[in-house]
Every structure is written in structure tokens, then in C-alpha cells.
Structure 1
Amino acid sequence: MGNVHIVTDSTADIPPSFVEKYHITVVPLKVTIEEETYQDGVTLSADTFYEKLAGSEAIPTTSQPTPQEFEKVYRRLYKQNKDSKILSIHLSGKMSGTLQSAQIAANEVAPEVHVEVVDSKRASYAFGIIVVELAKLVQLGATFEECKSRLQMLLQQTSVYFLVDTLHYLQKNGRIGKASALIGSLLKMKPVLSLTDSGEVYAYQKARGTKKAFSIIKEALQKQYGNKDVHLGIAHANALQSATNFQKDLEKLLHVQSTTITTIGAVIGSHTGPGTVAFIVTPVEDGER
């Protein structure tokens, strides 16, 4: 495995097959629904979560891992290889206390264990796709500094746009961010949402209907990436058919070298609601396919 460990949290919504293949360490958040608390992706699968959500009138609540949980992970990885360094990449600090828990743990294990905690300023596969690319790099023998350099480039050049069926969940959970000022007009429209540079939700543009909203997304992505080779990620909340339909259009539009369709897990799904579809695009590195 070399001298670099990649750690993230369950809100990255990385497909389990990728977690296993690329040896990514995932620390789960927790979700409480119907007075029962589960570990995201561990004791509660995405499919089961959406089944429970459909039959519940209550809005689920979520909570971050404790610093002690992160510390246990960091120390375990250190024991595997005492020459290794850990790159710990997490959900936007504007959306969760997960980042803070990770940083407290990193401070606790320092200087014995070298951990650098990174605020992705993103959510779901918008940072999961970045984590996967870094894990691939680690498997190729990249150094810690090479991983950090690639990380910064990916954070700058990866884009995300998403559509929600309703703003109800984002509003109720307080994750509406900078879109809150437009909440009245947005309720009558189909907003194309994205994330600010600081990691907050904002309304990129308003549209009448899903078809027009997707056209806006396609136009934005084509303008950003043109003829560049890219990786495409589509994350959906119990909306596989929509994700597959959108995939076909985007693969015709962009120079897509690989596509990953993944399910939005219980924690992020608690905040976006079912029917959400997110589109993530990141550039392919020169010489990579």
C-alpha cells in the first residue's frame, strides 16, 4: 500500500466496490430515523434508508463521528505502517462537524502520527470522486506530496450541479445555504443547485421543469470542459432511472473516459431527499485514461 493512507467519511458516497478495490478507509456518520440510530452505510444501506424514509413522517437527523472514532482509525493505520502519512478528506465544514472531529483527532495523535485533514468544501460524490482518484494514485506508488498536489488540482477543477425533487429537506435540515434568500421563488421552479467555493449550497440558476434545468447543466459543463477528457460521476437518491437517462446525454456531450453511478447514502439523503440527482465532472490527468 505504500506510505500514504486515504481516509474519508461515509458522506462521500463512494461505491463499496471502489472502497474495497482502492483500500479507502471510510469513517461512518450516523443517522437517526424513527428513534433508531444507524451507522451510514454500515448498519443502514441506502436502499433500506429510502424505504424507511418513504414510510416515515419525521425528518431524519444526522450526527458526525466523534474525535475518538477518528483517533482510533488514525492509530490503527499508523500501526500498519509507522512510516506512513494520512490524508483525511471530508464533507464540507459548512455542512457538518465531521471536519472538526477529524481535526481534533489529528491534533491528538500528532506528532507521532502524521495526519493532514482537508475540507473538501463539497458533499457526496462531489468529493467522493476526488477521493477515488487520489486512492488510485496511491496504488500507483505516489508520494504524499504528489497526492496533495493532485488533490489541490482536483478541488479546483471538479464541478458539481444537482437537482432535487423538493427543497423541503434542505430547508428543514438547515442545509439550504445561500439559496435561502430565493426560497419563495424557488419553490415554484426547478432550481439548478451547486456549491460555493466555501462549501455552501446555492442556486446556480432557476428553470421551469427538469428538462430545462438539465439543459442548463449541460450548457454549463460543456462550457467548462469543452473537448477535455473527463471522468463523470452521477449520484442519485433512489432515482436510478433518471441517473441512467441523464448519463446517456452527458456521455454524448462530453469526452467521458469513465462513468460512475452511485447511490446517495442515508446522511446526505436525509438532507436532499429522494429523487435528487447530482452531476460531477473532474478532468482526466495527462497520460491517464
Structure 2
Amino acid sequence: MANVRIVTDSTADIPQELRERYNIEMVPLKVHFGNEMYQDAVTISPDQFYEKLAQASKLPTTSQPSPVEFLEVYKRLHAQSPDCAIISIHLSAAMSGTYQSALLASSMLEEEEVDVTVIDSKSASFGIGVYVLEAAKLAQAGYDKDAILARIAQLQQEQKLYFLVDTLEYLQKGGRIAKASAMLGTLLNIKPILSIDKDGEVYAVEKVRGQKRLLQRVLEMYKEHFGNQPVDVGVGYSTEKSTADTVVAELKSQFDVRSIQYTRIGAVIGTHVGHGTVAVFVRPAAPDPEPLNS
């Protein structure tokens, strides 16, 4: 049976219960409130983060893991199982240096012949999480590295994602949009539908006036892409689960939804999108992988 271990970072926003169930290693990014530093999903939970964010006078900052942090994980996994292959899947390189840190760590192990493949997800939040979970399920079922990498590449082509933000404030402070655009959008109740392009960068797909029309338009775009085929859905939210529930109800009414996974948007991604954000990740439905014979 193949022996593959899956590593990711905290921006994949995978619930702890799923990380433990599928034996996923997670390296945290960090969020900084002034002189206070927290490890995303380790020493600060989403609830704690959004409470601190609401009280903060200044937007927090974020930082990537060092190559040494990845190196320690790769060495530990190799020591546990010297014949294992490691697949390490990370936040878009266009958004963070996390991928580069992991890549540098893997290069330090070449002489020791540790098999590490580092992947730029070109995505964020549960957009990464979907790839990681699928990879981990295949690994548990006994699939080899090449089969898992092929499935990740397929998912990268198939998955569509849209982010709906409640306020433009965090995008503006993070340098994603100009201050004048943020002020005008707030005054006119104009909200962007955001996605991530093939290069892994956030962009505005459309700008819509009003929350109701915003959701309606997202559903229309998903319908244009997936038609009537069965789909699997991931829904991430920062603070308002009721909004996520509304999105899920609408998806169920218009699509053949085979599975739904809720997740919270954690501290690092939350720093850049803020409260009230909902992210919807849709892909063609697929059954869990059949275990291979050992």
C-alpha cells in the first residue's frame, strides 16, 4: 500500500476534527495585534480573533511560517516513515510567501532523499482545504503520490469559488482596492463578487448593488458553470453563520447538492476579508475514494 502524508497550512481553514480524522499535518501562519503574536488555529480561534478584530483600533498583520518550521515537520514525518512521500499544499504564492518557505524547506532535504512535493494551490481558505481533504482521503485509501497529484490538478480545474464580503474596509486597508472605491462602494451599497484567478490573485468578478442581488447573481454564475450536474459544496464564513445558512438553503433549492461542508474562515484570511464574509466553493460531486487492496 502506498504511503503518502499530507501537509498544509492554517489558511486552508480545515476544521480540527477533519485534520485529525484524515491525519493532516498543519503548519500555522501568524497574526499580529501590535506586539501580540498568535498562531492561526492554534493559539487563537476564529471566535477569539473576530472579537479582537472588532475591538482593534488598527488592522492586525499576518506573517508566514519560516522554512525551518516546515523543515521540522518534513523531518518528523520522514523519521516516522522513511519510505513515505509528502505532499505539501499551500496558500497561493501570489498572496503569501508560505509556498516559498515550504519549497525552500523541501530543497534542504534533497540530499537526504526525502520525497517532498510542494504545491501552490493558487487558492485560499477552504479552496485549499478541498484539495487537502481530497488528497488526505486518497492517501488513507492507499493511493500513491502520482494518483493524488493528478486528482489535485483535476480539482484545480473543476472547482469554482466566490467570496462575498460584507464591507470593503478590510480589502481597502489591505491594499486590494483604493480608498476612494471603498468609500464610494459603501455609500452606494455596491458590493463586489470576488474570486481568485488562474494565477492565484484575488479579483472582482462583478460589482452588484445590494445583498439580495449579490447572492442571486452568484447563484446564476454557478448555474451557468455547473448546470444541472450534481455538486459538492463547501461554505466558509467569518462571523455570520446565518448568512452561510441562507446561501446553503438557496444552493439546495437550485442544485443537486450531494454534500456540504461548513468551515470557519480563520484569523489570517479573516484579517484580509473581515467580518460578515461568506465564501462558496463548488465542484462536481464525487464519491469518497474506494480503498485499494493492500
Q: What is the TM-score when the length of structure 2 is the normalising length? A: 0.93
Q: Distance in 2 between matches of 1:250 and 1:157?
A: 18
Matched, 1:46 2:46: yes
Q: Distance in 2 between matches of 1:255 and 1:140?
A: 26
The within-5 A match list for 1:59-138 is 59-111=59-111, 112-138=113-139
Q: Distance in 2 between matches of 1:277 and 1:149?
A: 29
Q: Distance in 2 between matches of 1:133 and 1:54?
A: 34
Q: Distance in 2 between matches of 1:126 and 1:150?
A: 14
Per-residue CA deviation, residues 110-144 of structure 1 (Å, 9 max, x unaligned), is 14211111111111011111211111111111111
Matched, 1:150 2:151: yes
Per-residue CA deviation, residues 39-77 of structure 1 (Å, 9 max, x unaligned), is 000000111001111111110100000000000000111
Q: State the match for 2:197 in structure 1.
A: 196
Q: State the match for 1:183 in structure 2.
A: 181
Per-residue CA deviation, residues 12-51 of structure 1 (Å, 9 max, x unaligned), is 0011111011111110000011421000000001110011
% identity of equivalent residues: 47
Give the partner amino acid of 1:77: L
CA-CA distance at 1:229 after TM superposition: 2.1
Q: Distance in 2 between matches of 1:255 and 1:214?
A: 18
Check conservation: 1:34, 1:56, Cα contact below 8 A: no
Structure 2 unpaired stretches of 5+? none
Give the partner amino acid of 1:209: G
Q: State the match for 2:31 in structure 1.
A: 31
Q: Distance in 1 between matches of 2:27 and 2:196?
A: 23
Per the alignment, do residues 147 and 117 of structure 1 end up closer, same or farther by CA in structure 2, a change over 3 Å counting?
same
Q: State the match for 1:206 in structure 2.
A: 207
Structure 1 unpaired stretches of 5+? none
Check conservation: 2:193, 2:206, Cα contact below 8 A: yes
Q: Distance in 2 between matches of 1:252 and 1:80?
A: 47
The SS at the match of 2:23 is coil
Q: State the match for 1:14 in structure 2.
A: 14
Once superposed, what is the RMSD of the aligned Cα atoms?
1.8
Per-residue CA deviation, residues 174-209 of structure 1 (Å, 9 max, x unaligned), is 3x2xx6699366443111111111011111111111
CA-CA distance at 1:286 after TM superposition: 6.5
Check conservation: 1:8, 1:26, Cα contact below 8 A: yes
Q: State the match for 2:164 in structure 1.
A: 163
The SS at the match of 1:215 is helix
Matched, 1:247 2:248: yes
Per the alignment, do residues 182 and 126 of structure 1 end up closer, same or farther by CA in structure 2, a change over 3 Å counting?
farther
Give the partner amino acid of 2:196: L
Q: What is the TM-score when the length of structure 1 is the normalising length? A: 0.94
Check conservation: 1:186, 1:206, Cα contact below 8 A: no
Number of matched pairs: 286
The SS at the match of 2:108 is helix
Check conservation: 1:2, 1:139, Cα contact below 8 A: no
